[in-house]
A = this chain, B = another copy of it.
Amino acid sequence: MQYGSIGLTTMTDARRLYQQIADQVRQLIVNGQYPPGSRLPAERDLAQQLGVSRPSLREALIALEIDGTIEIRMGSGIYVLNAARPAVTGRSLGESPTELMQARAVIESAVIVQATAAMPTETLATLRDILVAMRSEIDEGRKPLEQDRQFHLIIAESAGNSVLSEIVASLFDERHSPMSDHMRGRFETPETWQFALSEHEAILAALEAKNPLAAQAAMHAHLTASGRRWVEN
């Protein structure tokens, strides 16, 4: 491995090379050298300038493409889309458990209003089955994480909007990621799962009653309480 010429950090950086390169390119963008709309140098040239191999640069460009910073057009070049910004699902999300849970409360309580009216009886039955399975998991001392996830996702999907569904899924997974728990040293307990289950019951009761405002309030209360348990546990 060679550390070359322009601007690359030294051996003390323990990150993967692609991450280092991606950050270097982000700096070029943020510094105004390549503002939004502009075109980066060709891969071969940029790799040489940064003193890395072209495949390593390509790995970095994929990361930048995924986070929406650049657009890659075959035969044409690499274009800056936006001033570099963190990806919504990046590690910056989740920095604050309180904010994450508040965001979920705001979003999911709005989504459930849309979902309540449109929800077929088969979906209500599916949600009922999920709560039964959740009870069973808790009774056997297991974490009903997958049932919890399905409960929230199926409600979101009933709103009939894939963008909203994906945001709800992403926020759920952010909350429950192994890294998130590990970093905070906080986990759900059988007791907190019991609370969650009874809060789910209240949500389902409101859905079954076709009462959007009650469903909204129940979802908001559930996520607010869940956030408090997570933060204070």
B88 A167 Cβ-Cβ under 8 A:
yes
Of listed A92, A107, A171, residue having the most chain B CB within 10 A: A107
Could you say how many copies of this chain the assembly holds?
Answer: 2
Give the number of residues in A that approach B within 8 Å (Cβ atoms).
49
Asked if A185 is at the interface (CB within 8 A of a chain B CB), the reply is no
Q: Which residues of chain A in 168-182 are interfacial with respect to chain B, using CB atoms and an 8 Å cutoff?
A: 169-171, 173-174, 177-179
Which residues from chain B contact A63 at a C-beta distance below 8 Å?
62, 66
**B162–A85 contact, CB under 8 A?**
no
Asked whether B103 lies within 8 Å of A163 as measured between CB atoms, the reply is: yes
0/1 string, A155-167, CB within 8 A of B gives 1: 0000101111011
In the complex, A37 Cα to B82 Cα: how many Å? 36
Of the A-B pairs whose beta carbons lie under 8 Å apart in the complex, a sample of 9, sorted by A's number, is: A59-B59, A81-B177, A82-B177, A86-B169, A93-B163, A93-B166, A106-B110, A106-B114, A107-B107
